[in-house]
């Protein structure tokens, strides 16, 4: 039987107000995400999960400040403030998120030398996280995506999911964006063109 999964992207303290890489209004989407869990056959949470010396952190690049760009072997990379460090409070899910309802929690960004925005592949677009196999073996073909941030992890996850052949809806009302130099509009347009349904 075809099943729908809710993919809840990175609803963690560091992406909410007061966190290290706070997304405006990031906490406002939590009640709606909890409610959306009732309507699906499976709930999957992703968790950004970096070692303290992760290469996406500006602190690892002398002379660079957060939000500046750098070149990585796999392409351009935004340098972020230190965030979602493994085992810290910032990496924990927002306390109001009903994380105990998750069938599975997938962690990403744990390899020091490569960032991983997408729930499916690291930023080389090749190294899989294992989520595709998990969904397929459970017979899940429809995905509803929500969470943080619209223009980074939600965007990359949605684009990979349509490429892999999943039927993908992004609930815009249950996402919030970072919006670096127009990245939010660009992400919405890119998702639309790729065949992501924006609801």
For residues 85-114, which are near Zn ion according to CB under 5 A?
Answer: 109
By the rule CB under 6 A, 153 interacts with ligand VGL? yes
Residue 181 contacts by C-beta under 8 Å, 6 or more apart in sequence? Answer: none
Beta-carbon contacts of residue 104 (< 8 Å; ≥ 6 apart)? 42, 44, 45, 134
Please say which residue, 42 or 148, places its beta carbon nearer to Zn ion.
148
What whole-number distance in Å separates Cα of residue 146 and Cα of residue 86?
Answer: 22
Q: State which residue has the least CB distance to Zn ion.
A: 48
- In the complex with Zn ion, the residue whose CB is nearer, 13 or 42, is 13
CB of 10 to ligand VGL, least distance (A): 4
Take residue 30 and report the two structure tokens written for it: 């939590």
Length, in residues, of the chain: 199
Asked if 10 touches ligand VGL (CB under 6 A), the answer is yes
Which listed residue (16, 108, 160, 175) is catalytic? 108
Question: Do 178 and 147 touch, CB atoms closer than 8 A?
Answer: no
108 is annotated as an active-site residue: yes
Q: Which of 14, 48, 82, 160 binds Zn ion (CB under 5 A)?
A: 48
* Closest to ligand VGL by CB, 42 or 115: 115
Distance, in Å, from the CA atom of 86 to the CA atom of 149, rounded to the nearest integer, reads: 19
Residue 153 among the catalytic residues? yes
Residues that bind Zn ion (CB under 5 A): 48, 109
């Amino acid at each position: 039987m075809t099943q729908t999964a809710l993919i809840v992207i990175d609803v963690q303290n560091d992406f909410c107000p007061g966190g290290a890489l706070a997304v405006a209004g990031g906490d406002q989407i939590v009640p709606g995400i909890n409610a959306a869990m009732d309507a699906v056959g499976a709930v999957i949470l992703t968790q950004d999960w970096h070692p303290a010396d992760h290469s996406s952190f500006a602190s690892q690049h002398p002379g660079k400040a957060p939000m500046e760009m750098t070149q990585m072997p796999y392409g351009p990379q935004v340098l972020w403030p230190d965030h979602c460090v493994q085992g810290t409070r910032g990496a924990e899910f927002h306390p109001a998120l009903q994380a105990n309802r998750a069938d599975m929690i997938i962690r990403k960004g744990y390899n020091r030398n490569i960032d991983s925005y997408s729930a499916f592949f690291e930023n080389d677009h090749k190294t899989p996280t294992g989520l595709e196999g998990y969904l397929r073996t459970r017979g899940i073909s429809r995905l509803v995506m929500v969470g943080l941030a619209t223009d980074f992890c939600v965007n990359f996850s949605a684009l990979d999911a349509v490429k892999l052949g999943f039927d993908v809806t992004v609930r815009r009302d249950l996402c919030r964006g970072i919006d670096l130099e127009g990245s939010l509009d660009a992400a919405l347009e890119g998702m639309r063109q790729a065949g992501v349904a924006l609801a």
